[in-house]
Structure formats: C-alpha cells, structure tokens
Amino acid sequence: MKSKRIGKQTMTLSDPPSVLSFAAVGGRMEARGPLKDYFDELSEDHFWGEKTWEKGESTMQKHALSRALEKANLQPRELDAVFAGDLLNQCIGSAFSLREFGIPFYGLYGACSTMGESLSLAALLIDGGFASRVAALTSSHFCTAERQYRMPVPYGSQRTPTAQWTATASGCCILAAEGGGPYVTHVTTGKIVDKGVTDSNNMGAAMAPSAYDTLCALFRDTQTKPEDYDLIVTGDLGKLGHDIVEDFFTRDGMPLGERYTDCGLLLYDLKQQDMHCGASGCGCSASVLNGYLLRGMREGKWNRIIFAPTGALLSPTSSFQGESVPGICHAVILSNTKE
Amino acid sequence: MKSKRIGKQTMTLSDPPSVLSFAAVGGRMEARGPLKDYFDELSEDHFWGEKTWEKGESTMQKHALSRALEKANLQPRELDAVFAGDLLNQCIGSAFSLREFGIPFYGLYGACSTMGESLSLAALLIDGGFASRVAALTSSHFCTAERQYRMPVPYGSQRTPTAQWTATASGCCILAAEGGGPYVTHVTTGKIVDKGVTDSNNMGAAMAPSAYDTLCALFRDTQTKPEDYDLIVTGDLGKLGHDIVEDFFTRDGMPLGERYTDCGLLLYDLKQQDMHCGASGCGCSASVLNGYLLRGMREGKWNRIIFAPTGALLSPTSSFQGESVPGICHAVILSNTKE
C-alpha cells in the first residue's frame, strides 16, 4: 500500500473523511461571550441538573454528543467508534457520559489538545478503512477544573494576570467516510515539547512552543506556507501564548499575519468578561471548532483552515514535585474541498 | 476501499502488522513472582533512582521503551508514533517519560486496558498506511497508585480479600509494517459496561462484564469459538473476575476451558506472595504481554491468542460521589501467521 505519511509527523488522507455534523454546548460565561450564537445549547445551571459539577460535566458531554447525533439524524448504534477524553482525573467526564451509549470507545488524554487528538484519530480510523462514522468528543468545566487543579471555586482565589479561564463547554464532531465537507485532509501528530516553564498559572507560555513545533512540522511536511490557509487557529494559548507563537514565526521570516488566531481569544470578550489571558480547557477549542469554525467553513467564510489545539501535560502532583509543564499540540487541516 | 470492519466492534487488518520487539520491566514484587525470568529488567529500588514514586514510574517507562528500541535496533526518531497512557492523574507517567524522546505522541486513558488500547491503535495506524513503526507503551506503580486511589503506602492500610495488587511494571511493544511476527490480525474495540458494582476494592467483579462483552463481540464478529485459540488472556481481572468470566461463558454453553487465564493470575504467586485476588494496574497486562506471552508465542508455545486487558474507568472522586465502576476491555488477536 502507498504510504500516507508525508514527512516526519504528518499524514495525508487518501479519501478525506467529511464532517457529518457538529455540536457545541456551553455554560453561563459562554452564553455571555461573542460566540454565543454559535452554540447549540447554553445552560445557566452549571450543575446541568446534577448534584455535583463532575456529574454535570458528564451530562454536558452527553448533550453535545446527542445534539451532534440528532443533527446527523443518527442513532448511537450507527457510530462505529467514539474518541473522547477530558481534564478530570481518570477522564471520568467521558467515561460517565458515554457509558449509556454503547458505542465502541477509545479514551484519550491530551489535556486541552484533546479535540485535535480525537479528530485526528477519528479521521485516521475512517481513512484507514476501519470505520464509516466516528465521533470526536471532549469537554471541560470551570468548577471541576478549579477544584482539581487550583482551589475549590467557593474559596474565591485571586487569579494571576496570566491566568486563563477554563471553559464550561463541550464539543462533538461526527466524521464520516462520505459527505459534503468540510473534509479532514491532513493530520499532524504533535511531539511533547517542554521548554522548562514551571508557572502553572501561565499555560500560554508553557504550550506556545508546542504549537510552534507542530505548526512548523505541518508547514514543512505539507510544503505549504501560512498564506495557503484562510485561518490558522491554535487552541487555548490565550493572549500571551498567541503572541509568543506570532513572535516565533515573525522571527523566522514567516509571519502568520491576521489569519492567525486562538480559540482562547475567541470564546470570551477578554475585557468585558474580565478573562485575563483568555479561555482554556478542552471545551474551549472543542466548542469553538464545533460552532464558530465549522459553521463558518460551511458558510464559505473560510475554505481551508488549520485547527491546532494545544495541551499542557501537567498535573498538580507534577507541579508540587517541581516539574516544568510539557506541552503538546495536535493539528488537522480542514478544507471545503478534498484537496 | 474495501471495509476492514467485520461486525459491530471488530476490525480485520488487511496486512497484519508484526511485533518487532517487546520489553518488560518490573519492580521488587515482580522479581519474586513466577514470571521473573521473562522481564528484561527488574529493579529492587522502587524509586528507580528518582526522588518521588511518580518520577520513578516515568523512569521505569523510559526503561521499557529504551529496551524495546534497543532490541529492535532502532533510534527513537525511527518511530512514527507512540501511543501511551497510565493510571496517574493527567497521565503524567507517560507525559514525563516521553518528553525527551521526540516521538509523535498520542496520549491514551484506558485504565488497565491501556496495553490493549495502545496496541490496537498502533496496529490500526500501521495497517491504515499511516505509519511504519509505532510503539505501544504503558506502566503502573504500586506506590503511586496506592497514594492516588487509596491511602499512602506508609499508612499500612489493611487490604480486603477481593483487593488486587497494582503491579510496579511497564511494558512496551513496537509494531511494524514488516516483520516475522507475531502479527496483530484483529482488533475488537470495547464498549463501556457498567453493571452497578460500587465496591472500588472489587475491581475484578466490576470489570468482568466488560471482558465478557468484548470477548462475545470478538467471537461473534470473527465467527470463531474459544477452541480456535491456544490461549485467551484477560488483563487484571484477578481470581474473582476470572471466575466470573468463566461462569458467564459456561452458562452460555461455550466454556473457555483451560486455555483461559488472566494476567492478574500470572504475575504473582497469589498464595506465597499474599496477593489476595491477584495483580492489577496497566503495568500488569503490559508486562505479562511483553514478556511471558510474546516470548511464548515466538517460541511456538502458542500460535494464536486473544489478549484482552480490562480497565476500570473510575476515579476516587466518582466513587466518593456514589458512582458505580464502569469497565472497558479492548481485545486484539495475535497470531504467528498472518491469518
């Protein structure tokens, strides 16, 4: 068989899988942000009708999957697989959201890069001939993340200027072997990049080098330039991380220009909503992709984009033990044509 | 393209990827168990030269990957990807073990089923034409798991009769498009199965239904019977879970017989080592596969086996919130021929 690998980190899909449907659900802050009209569902109740935030996060994920299934007019049994993960210890957000659906399940941990990782593997599974329809799913929840990584929300901790706000959101994308697009044409797998940043309140700086690394690999492997894309979107670098990536490419004589943005900059109005450096969490890039970005592509606003969410592979334990913050970034190219 | 999906959960590999090399490393208890001669490396130091158990687990994982690379005479850059995960919060065992290798990385969370999940995805990636050589890697550590899931080891907690002992071990398997075998011929993706077991000290009972579910799917999809395999090995069900699966199949009139065993029964001498229901942890099935099982296949002891590790998708938080324990089981068929 002809290899579909081009360069060191990129795979080209021989018959690019199509986005069949997508859905985004969010919470109270997302409902006050500039992308509110792109969500399929917004809840003022951050428990989502449950007794705990963790159960609420699972329920939110269920809603995202159910909405995406509805929009594709599919039953859960018609999916061949689902790739999902989240930020919670042992990824319980995904395990408890999916246990009633009966869909063959591969659990992922890619921190805030999970939407890129799940979309990549879903596309590869279909293009490899192993599946017809696969869902990619992830979520995050401000209150579960604060409790787990920092302080329980009721303590009212102060946030540093470099802090980002974990989105209470979930996104689901269903890919299929056949469909009218957008198509996943290429997948670039990230490597772990750790430049020694130890400030766990500055995720943007910690993850920016991995975004730069993966984007460089993508350009090199596909022999394309930033100008070949209508939009380049990293995930959850926020203001500081976005500017670092911009600086890196400008230094290289390959400025990304106006086409470059970051999901962490799009989800909230940073000033009005007092969001410091922007949004973060698996649910940030997931909901931005599965609302604003994919709808924009379908409407012809952009024809070819790079979606490159980043994850910080730390835990409170690793930080307590003095470790730095390794980052990773998984990129996919989405295009309105199969080229 | 011809679909490689047979039945609801199983995929057949058109040109079965081959095991290129495999390595298992373990700790003090593993060095006193009946499989000690099948390990590539055994350490009396459960810190593996580090200052914390978590760092020790990462180092142990590095050793497993390095040994497997050495045995295949490969450099890290010659791997197209690595699939890895572990039990630690945010999978830091894998993130910190892999950050220096520079290998494109997909992080997984499948609890103790991770060796099955990583091996499955590695095989699919190769057979899909996306990669030539891929590593599947996982680990667990008794002391990191006790601290995280139960009590810090120095507290000297009593263990219940149904408890299993988390293996301090890591296993790595490198698959390649070409090679002399054993080959991964089929992959069966598990669904989450939750029968409502809430005792987090009885993982065997919680996971047995998922092993039964996946094995049933495998037999149904491939139209094979237990007698078609020389060995059927679940992962980490231990004595109780093993007996439950045995009972289920006997009830169905399809007894698994003597060919059925479990990695949790193989790693330790249950009586002499006072191991209650047996071994558990990602590292248990990983080290049993990448030592005893694959060496046995290479030596012709078994020609066709089902390797079906199971995972319990709980966290301390989900148990504190009164949730039951969802299980999952990912199975692969390994064969000395490409059939």
Please list, residue by residue across B170-182, b when 16 or more beta carbons sit within 10 angstroms of its beta carbon and e when fewer do: bbbbbbbbebebb
Q: What is the pLDDT of residue B134?
A: 98
Q: What is the pLDDT of residue A89?
A: 97
Output A293 or B158, whichever has higher pLDDT: A293
How far does B123 lie from chain A, in Å, by closest CA?
11
B63-94 pLDDT tens trace: 999 999 999 999 999 999 999 999 999 999 99
Hey, which residues 1-30 in chain A have their CB within 8 Å of chain B?
1-5, 8-9, 11, 14-15
Set of chain B residues whose Cβ sits within 8 Å of the Cβ of A193: 99
Task: Name the β-bridge partners of A105.
Answer: A82
Mean pLDDT over B214-233 rounds to: 98
A15-27 pLDDT tens trace: 999 999 999 999 9
Give SS3 for A24: strand
Mean pLDDT over A141-162 rounds to: 90
Interchain proximity A107–B99, CB inside 8 Å: no
Hey, which residues 145-184 in chain B have their CB within 8 Å of chain A?
none
- Asked whether the predicted pLDDT for residue A60 surpasses 90, the reply is yes
Quick one: pLDDT band at residue A157, thresholds 50, 70, 90?
A: confident
Helical segments of chain B, H only = 53-71, 92-98, 114-127, 142-149, 203-222, 238-251, 263-266, 282-288, 294-298, 316-320
Other beta carbons within 10 angstroms of residue A149's beta carbon come to 18
Set of chain B residues whose Cβ sits within 8 Å of the Cβ of A8: 77, 104
A86-140 pLDDT tens trace: 999 999 999 999 999 999 999 999 999 999 999 999 999 999 999 999 999 999 9
Interface test with B, best of A92, A120, A203, A282 (most B CBs within 10 A): A92
Set of chain A residues whose Cβ sits within 8 Å of the Cβ of B90: 87, 89, 109, 111, 313-315, 318
Mean pLDDT of the residues in chain B: 96
B21-62 pLDDT tens trace: 999 999 999 999 999 999 999 999 999 999 999 999 999 999
How far does B299 lie from chain A, in Å, by closest CA?
30
Q: What is the pLDDT of residue A1?
A: 60
**From residue B43, how far is each of B26, B32, B36, B152 by CA, in Å?**
6, 11, 11, 21
Interchain proximity B314–A92, CB inside 8 Å: yes
Q: What is the pLDDT of residue A120?
A: 98
Quick one: pLDDT band at residue A252, thresholds 50, 70, 90?
A: very high
Predicted structure pTM score: 0.98
User: DSSP character for B31?
Assistant: G
Helical segments of B235-289, H only = 238-251, 263-266, 282-288
Q: Determine the Cα–Cα distance for residues B12 and B127; give it in Å rounded to an integer.
A: 10
Q: What is the pLDDT of residue A159?
A: 87
Q: Is the dihedral of CA B257, B263, B264, B269 positive or negative?
A: positive
Quick one: pLDDT band at residue A65, thresholds 50, 70, 90?
A: very high
CB proximity B228 to A under 8 Å = no
Q: Express as a percent the part of chain B with pLDDT over 90.
A: 94
Interface test with B, best of A10, A89, A143, A324 (most B CBs within 10 A): A89
How far does B37 lie from chain A, in Å, by closest CA?
32
Hey, which residues 283-312 in chain A have their CB within 8 Å of chain B?
none
Is residue B306 within 8 Å of B331, Cβ to Cβ?
yes
**From residue A216, how far is each of A120, A189, A193, B78 by CA, in Å?**
18, 12, 13, 19
Set of chain A residues whose Cβ sits within 8 Å of the Cβ of B130: 3-5, 11, 124, 128
CB proximity B197 to A under 8 Å = no
Set of chain B residues whose Cβ sits within 8 Å of the Cβ of A88: 315, 317
Interchain proximity A96–B1, CB inside 8 Å: no
CB proximity B59 to A under 8 Å = no
A276-308 pLDDT tens trace: 999 999 999 999 999 999 999 999 999 999 999
Phi-psi region of B306 (alpha: psi -120 to 50; beta: other; left: phi over 0): beta
Q: What is the pLDDT of residue B1?
A: 60
Q: What is the pLDDT of residue B153?
A: 87
Interchain proximity A128–B128, CB inside 8 Å: yes
Q: Determine the Cα–Cα distance for residues A66 and B191; give it in Å rounded to an integer.
A: 17
User: DSSP character for B257?
Assistant: G
A34-49 pLDDT tens trace: 999 999 999 999 999 9
Please list, residue by residue across A47-83, b when 16 or more beta carbons sit within 10 angstroms of its beta carbon and e when fewer do: bbebebbbbbbbbbbbbbbbbbbeebebeeeebbbbb
Set of chain A residues whose Cβ sits within 8 Å of the Cβ of B324: none
Is residue B309 within 8 Å of B330, Cβ to Cβ?
yes
Interchain proximity B90–A9, CB inside 8 Å: no
Nearest CB partner across the interface for A192, out of B88, B99, B128: B99
Interchain proximity A191–B314, CB inside 8 Å: no
A254-265 pLDDT tens trace: 999 999 999 999
How far does A248 lie from chain B, in Å, by closest CA?
20
How far does B84 lie from chain A, in Å, by closest CA?
9
Is residue A175 within 8 Å of A134, Cβ to Cβ?
yes
ipTM: 0.98
A167-205 pLDDT tens trace: 999 999 999 999 999 999 999 999 999 999 999 889 999
Mean pLDDT over B224-239 rounds to: 97
B285-310 pLDDT tens trace: 999 999 999 999 999 999 999 999 99
- Asked whether the predicted pLDDT for residue B312 surpasses 90, the reply is yes
Interchain proximity B192–A95, CB inside 8 Å: yes
**Of the candidates B238, B18, B90, B87, the residue with the CA atom closest to the CA atom of residue A327:** B90
A–B interface: beta-carbon pairs under 8 A: 200
B162-218 pLDDT tens trace: 999 999 999 999 999 999 999 999 999 999 999 999 998 899 999 999 999 999 999
